Amino acid sequence: MTKPHPSCETTHNTHRVVIVGAGMAALYAALELAPRPVLMISPEPLGEGASSAWAQGGIAAAMDQADSPAAHARDTQRAGAGTVAAEVAAMVTRLARDHVHELTDLGTPFDRTPDGGFVMSREAAHSMARVVRVKGDQAGKQIMETLIAAVRATPSVQVLEGTQAVRLEVCEGAATGVWISPATGGCAPQLLRAPAILLAGGGSGGLFAHTTNPPRIRGQVIGLAARAGALIADPEFVQFHPTAFDIGEDPAPLATEALRGDGAILINANGDRFMQSVHPDGELAPRDIVARAIFAETQAGRRPMLDTRAALGAEVISRFPTVAETCARAGIDPVAEPIPIAVAAHYHMGGIDTDVQGRSSLDQLWVCGEAASTGLHGANRLASNGLLEALVYARNAATDIAQQLAQTAADPTAATSDLQLSFDASPLTATAPASAIAKLRETMTAHVGVRRDDAGLKSALATIETLLAQHGDDESFANMCATATLIAAAALQRRESRGGHFRDDCPASDPNQAHRTHITLTQACAIRAEAAQELT
Ligand code: SIN
């Protein structure tokens, strides 16, 4: 059994399913579990701070008569650069339509054609327009609003806003509880023992200094599972979005790929359209290829820009309101001038190793959403497959949890009173300073970013080791460092380039390495210790 947290004195027992996170996957799973009682651990008020709410593109689904799940699965595998699990791609793409209809029934105002069909956007590496959207570029925001309204109207769901999970309790290979503390940190955590725990707390983009992810999303949930011994898959595969606004904001606002799907082009400061010489699909090449080309322009001092003028004219304002709002804030008129852009960490293909039912390698622990690594995305996620995967695995996990609990637990529909928690301000627990988090993020962008090499990855691992030694008493920071370690260690081990993982010192793909990575935190820490030792 894991050692109790040194300052943990309070234990609560609940028969609610505990869901860690409050994004799209978490909300959808809570609804799927109803009327079984659920307790959601939400660091922010619902709707704030979750990556899903910031998604612009939409949900990839073969809704068109001319399209098929098989074609969608083929595109998913092609984009994934040789490591997509074929059976997972087949299952997820087959279920896509059901989930779009389910969201429609819940009230999501998808954009519709005059004859009642779905308006489809085209995004990179899709062989046809296949992304259902909401109010132009507001898919994430609108779907989240729909789900939040449904959750608020579901009495079986209790939401603990302002709390975060910092650690798991593990007993004989099963996750038996989760320590939670106020999201602001500082107070001693309290242990919540529950019959089932579902992790749906997002990815790792915010571990990088340049990111499109909300500030709360810094690999904490992947790190928490890894520290408890859960197996991690594909951590080296991080997706960098090619077109984040380069306007000095942290996080960097996104300029959706659907703009390029509608004909927007990429130019540099000289006015040259550089993607045509890089890939036959030009601006709609797979995302990793476009990201590296943008990065090269930035590095060469030829500021890359997204030019919507000829393709969209004034329509960019009405059809892409989120992009228009960012432009207005930055003083850019996209009708008259191109938008300055840069790459930014956007999505983590790696995460907690998860089977088709959403089970992790620990009993009683399920995962869905970006924290999971299901094998769908391979080395490079196909655009708008992220929300789709979140929905499919939220339902799969909820169904599996309900089935397992039906064999063991009391009447799932029995009335349950809300769990009451209050945190004492003492004893105070350690909090890593903002400078330590900034150093971690700068290190990840500098050495574990779009282009990597042996020396840089080792230096990143040594820096993480030092930061952890200084500030590892802060559990949330230790979780971030765990995920950073896993990403850098797996990237060091993968001596080839594939999808989102590019090594300057091994730029070719090696067919012998066309497989997924499975790694524990113990293994990653051994790699980190060796790298740190080598540099002393
Ligand atoms: C975008 O709208 O460009 C992002 C979509 C995605 O990341 O899937």
The pLDDT tens digits for 486-510 are 999 999 999 999 999 999 999 999 9
Ligand 1 center–CA 346 separation, angstroms: 9
Same domain, 325 and 367: no
Same domain, 338 and 448: no
Ligand 1 center–CA 19 separation, angstroms: 25
Ligand 1 center–CA 517 separation, angstroms: 25
Beta carbon of 261 within 6 Å of any ligand 1 atom: no
Same domain, 63 and 193: yes
Beta carbon of 57 within 6 Å of any ligand 1 atom: yes
Torsion sign, CA atoms 94, 151, 202, 233: negative
Is 441 inside a domain boundary? yes
Is 416 inside a domain boundary? no
Q: Is the pLDDT of residue 523 over 70?
A: yes
Strand partners, 120: 132
Is 496 inside a domain boundary? yes
Same domain, 469 and 441: yes
Task: Characterize 371-390 residue by residue with b for buried, 16 or more Cβ atoms within 10 angstroms of its Cβ, and e for exposed.
Answer: bbbbbbbbbbbbbbbbbbbb
User: Taking a C-beta distance cutoff of 8 angstroms, is the pair 347, 387 a contact?
Assistant: no
- Residue 137 CA: which ligand 1 atom is closest? 2
319: how many CB neighbours lie within 10 A of its CB? Answer: 20
- Residue 123 CA: which ligand 1 atom is closest? 3
- Residue 385 CA: which ligand 1 atom is closest? 8
Least confident of 4-13, 210-219, 229-238: 4-13
Same domain, 399 and 483: yes
| Distance, CA of 213 to CA of 254 (rounded, Å) | 9
Residue 267: phi and psi, rounded to 5, are -130, 165
Ligand 1 center–CA 316 separation, angstroms: 17
| Residue among 384, 385, 389 whose CB has most ligand 1 atoms within 8 A, to mutate | 384
Instruction: Band the pLDDT of 306: cuts 50, 70, 90.
Output: very high
Ligand 1 center–CA 439 separation, angstroms: 28
* Domain of residue 27, CATH code: 3.50.50.60
Beta carbon of 386 within 6 Å of any ligand 1 atom: yes
Please report the pLDDT score of residue 1 as a whole number: 46
Q: Which of 343, 367, 399 is the last residue of a domain?
A: 343
* Contacts with 352 (C-beta within 8 Å, 6 or more apart), sequence order: 199, 221, 222, 225, 226, 230, 231, 232, 233, 360, 367, 371, 372, 373
* Domain of residue 312, CATH code: 3.90.700.10
Give residue 257's domain range.
Answer: 243-343
Q: Which of 343, 375, 397 is the last residue of a domain?
A: 343
Beta carbon of 373 within 6 Å of any ligand 1 atom: no
Beta carbon of 243 within 6 Å of any ligand 1 atom: no
| Residue among 56, 132, 283, 326 whose CB has most ligand 1 atoms within 8 A, to mutate | 56
DSSP assignments along 8-70, one per residue: ---EEE--SEEEE--SHHHHHHHHHHTTS-EEEEESSSTTSS-GGGG--S-EE---STT--HH
Q: Which of 319, 343, 367 is the last residue of a domain?
A: 343
- Residue 381 CA: which ligand 1 atom is closest? 8
Give the residue-averaged pLDDT of 345-369.
Answer: 98
Same domain, 123 and 53: yes
Beta carbon of 256 within 6 Å of any ligand 1 atom: yes
Beta carbon of 383 within 6 Å of any ligand 1 atom: yes
Ligand 1 center–CA 121 separation, angstroms: 11
Same domain, 59 and 80: yes
* Residue pLDDT, tens place only, 115-133: 999 999 999 899 999 999 9
Same domain, 360 and 216: yes
Please report the pLDDT score of residue 489 as a whole number: 98
* Residue pLDDT, tens place only, 167-177: 999 999 999 99
Question: How far, in whole angstroms, is CA 486 from its chain's centroid?
Answer: 15
* Residue pLDDT, tens place only, 51-94: 888 888 899 999 999 999 999 999 999 999 999 999 999 999 99
Same domain, 73 and 182: yes
Beta carbon of 257 within 6 Å of any ligand 1 atom: yes
| Residue among 254, 294, 347 whose CB has most ligand 1 atoms within 8 A, to mutate | 254
Q: Is the pLDDT of residue 478 over 90?
A: yes
Beta carbon of 58 within 6 Å of any ligand 1 atom: no
Same domain, 399 and 430: yes
Please report the pLDDT score of residue 52 as a whole number: 86
Ligand 1 center–CA 158 separation, angstroms: 31
Ligand 1 center–CA 312 separation, angstroms: 19
Please report the pLDDT score of residue 413 as a whole number: 61
Could you give the number of structural domains in the chain?
2
Beta carbon of 390 within 6 Å of any ligand 1 atom: no
Q: Is the pLDDT of residue 410 over 70?
A: no
Is 418 inside a domain boundary? no
Strand partners, 163: 182
Instruction: Band the pLDDT of 47: cuts 50, 70, 90.
Output: confident
Nearest residue to 434 (alpha-carbon basis) of 277, 232, 215: 215
Is 417 inside a domain boundary? no
Give the residue-averaged pLDDT of 153-180.
Answer: 96
Same domain, 205 and 250: no
Same domain, 320 and 365: no
Give the residue-averaged pLDDT of 224-253.
Answer: 97
Is 90 inside a domain boundary? yes
Helix (H) or strand (E) holding 228, with range, is none
Q: Which residues are catalytic?
A: 287
- Residue 347 CA: which ligand 1 atom is closest? 7
Is 2 inside a domain boundary? yes
Is 34 inside a domain boundary? yes
Going by alpha carbons, the residue nearest to atom 1 of ligand 1 is 256
